[in-house]
């Protein structure tokens, strides 16, 4: 489930291809078969898990489970599933990476007959709360704003923007609707249309103007003005405004706009727990920084922002490990060791779901192996590399179970024995495992090691 939900980096893979190659989804469908009764039990269980955890992975599971049955044409289930028509239209929007006018009319028709108090609104909200769907809706909202800027229009005049905003409001209420069992149809939020969007459009105009190439003799573009107070207030209190703003942050990272990213991340920093509340944004932020390959953007987004929140949750720490694992071949050894030191948790992290802990363990396993290869095989001094391994080992002791840590240390010691031709009892002592008796069995020569 976790794998399915947190691969919403831009651009998304075609939904049918993603579902076809999803191992967890295939296993669930194999267990369920074509039984409508088991399907209803599974959907009910997914709702309960979502209410208790608020994890967007479960929204993706709700959406992908239904649409995979559609892909397989399991008529016994999709014919009686009241969300099927809506989910199919949303899936077409995800496939096209846009919410077109004809799709809006079809989606509005599928809403007919759904009234406030209908529990169906909870399932519809889960479908649009999937990170895959949210990404499509946010992209459509941003494209509509760009069109309004070019045409000189106002947000109220855009049918597409109004409807997409309504769907985003439905997504932000999905959890509270299911938890409180109070279902209501979200209306278009006037404060978002009349205050937030015009303020955001002013920010976008400033950034686009500064990006235009300089013309000989033309005056320099005016200095960037801070966002209007209405923009800041609605970002802090309105969930739809927050999601649209976070999407805009990602677009500025793509354009390597250091000034805009700095100002927007300062605003995002003022919202407590934003990275934990928006896991899809957190993963996309790291991905966009890696793709941008810009030193200043990396310093702003990772060094000064994400690393400061590394203790908030295991998922955020997992993204830090992923970043260091990807960046370690692009930076100097000094910078790599600096990142290894910075990523150390300042306090024990809370226990979370086993799936996140498992992924974190696997990420550390991969990072340890890569760093060992980089540090011991390269021309850099071996003790510097050993210090980096020690830092990672200490970090793992606060994050993963002792047995897993011991197994990873075993692999590192075997690796050192293989590439250096030396035995590794001293390394075990340095890693804090002097009581282990298996180190004496490690080979002395690289040729004697059998992987």
Per-residue confidence in pLDDT tens, the chain, 451 aa:
333 333 333 445 789 998 998 888 999 999 999 999 999 999 999 999 999 988 888 999 999 999 999 999 999 999 999 999 999 999 999 999 999 989 999 998 888 778 888 899 999 999 999 999 999 999 999 999 999 999 999 999 999 999 999 999 999 999 999 999 999 888 878 899 999 999 999 999 999 988 776 555 566 667 778 888 989 999 999 999 999 999 999 999 999 999 999 999 999 998 888 888 888 899 999 999 999 999 999 999 999 999 988 888 778 888 888 898 888 778 876 787 778 778 777 666 555 555 666 666 667 666 666 665 555 444 344 444 454 555 555 555 444 444 444 555 555 455 444 444 444 444 444 444 333 333 333 333 323 323 3
Cα 298 to chain centroid distance, Å, stands at 17
10 Å Cβ neighbour count for 119?
A: 12
10 Å Cβ neighbour count for 111?
A: 16
Burial (CB count within 10 angstroms: exposed 0-12, middle 13-18, buried 19+), residue 118: middle
Report CA Rg, the chain: 25
Burial (CB count within 10 angstroms: exposed 0-12, middle 13-18, buried 19+), residue 226: exposed
Q: Characterize 76-100 residue by residue with b for buried, 16 or more Cβ atoms within 10 angstroms of its Cβ, and e for exposed.
A: ebbeebebbebbebbbbbbeeeebe
10 Å Cβ neighbour count for 177?
A: 21
Burial (CB count within 10 angstroms: exposed 0-12, middle 13-18, buried 19+), residue 3: middle
Residues 229, 231, 232, 237, Cα dihedral to 10°: 120
pTM of the predicted model as reported, rounded to 2 decimal places: 0.80
Instruction: State the DSSP H helix or E strand holding residue 284, giving kind and residue range, or none if neither.
Output: helix 279-292
Burial (CB count within 10 angstroms: exposed 0-12, middle 13-18, buried 19+), residue 366: middle
Q: With beta carbons less than 8 A apart as the criterion, state whether 227 and 199 touch.
A: yes
The CA-based diameter of the chain, rounded to the nearest angstrom, is 76
- How far is residue 269 from each of residues 83, 106, 304, 424, measured CA to CA in Å? 37, 39, 10, 45
């Amino acid at each position: 489930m976790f794998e399915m939900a947190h691969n919403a980096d831009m651009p998304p893979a075609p939904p049918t291809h993603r579902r076809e190659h999803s191992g967890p989804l295939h296993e669930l469908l194999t267990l369920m078969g074509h039984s409508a009764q088991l399907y209803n039990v599974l959907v009910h269980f997914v709702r309960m898990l979502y209410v208790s955890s608020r994890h967007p992975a479960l929204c993706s599971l709700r959406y992908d489970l239904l649409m995979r049955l559609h892909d397989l044409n399991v008529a016994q289930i999709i014919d009686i599933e009241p969300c099927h028509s809506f989910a199919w239209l949303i899936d077409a929007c995800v496939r096209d990476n846009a919410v077109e006018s004809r799709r809006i009319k079809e989606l509005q028709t599928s809403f007919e007959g759904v009234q406030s108090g209908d529990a169906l609104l909870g399932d519809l909200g889960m479908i649009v709360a999937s990170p895959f769907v949210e990404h499509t809706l946010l992209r459509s909202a941003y494209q509509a704003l760009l069109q309004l800027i070019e045409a000189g229009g106002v947000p109220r005049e855009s049918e597409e923007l109004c409807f997409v905003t309504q769907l985003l409001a439905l997504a932000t209420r999905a959890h509270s609707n299911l938890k409180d069992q109070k279902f209501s149809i979200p209306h278009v939020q006037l404060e978002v249309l009349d205050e937030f969007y015009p303020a955001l459009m002013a920010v976008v105009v400033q950034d686009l103007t500064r990006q235009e190439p300089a013309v000989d003799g033309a005056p320099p573009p005016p200095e960037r003005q801070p966002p209007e107070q209405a923009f800041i207030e609605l970002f802090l209190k309105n969930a739809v405004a927050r999601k649209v703003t976070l999407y805009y942050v990602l677009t500025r990272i793509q354009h390597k706009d250091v000034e805009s990213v700095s100002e927007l991340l300062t605003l995002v920093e003022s919202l407590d727990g934003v990275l934990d509340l928006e896991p899809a944004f957190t993963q996309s932020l790291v991905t966009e920084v890696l793709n941008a390959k810009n030193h200043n953007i990396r310093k702003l987004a990772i060094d000064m922002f994400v690393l400061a929140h590394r203790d908030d949750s295991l998922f955020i720490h997992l993204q830090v490990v992923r970043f260091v694992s990807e960046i370690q071949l692009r930076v100097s050894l000094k910078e790599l060791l600096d990142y290894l030191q910075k990523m150390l948790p300042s306090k024990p992290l809370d226990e979370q779901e086993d799936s996140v802990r498992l992924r974190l363990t696997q990420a550390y396993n991969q990072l340890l192996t890569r760093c060992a290869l980089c540090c011991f095989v390269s021309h850099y001094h071996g003790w510097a590399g050993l210090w980096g391994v020690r830092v990672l080992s200490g970090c793992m002791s606060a994050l993963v179970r002792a047995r897993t840590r011991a197994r990873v240390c075993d692999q590192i010691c075997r690796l050192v024995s293989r590439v250096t031709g030396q035995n590794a009892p001293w390394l075990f002592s340095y890693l804090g495992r002097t009581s282990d008796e298996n180190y004496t069995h490690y080979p002395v020569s690289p040729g004697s090691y059998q992987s």
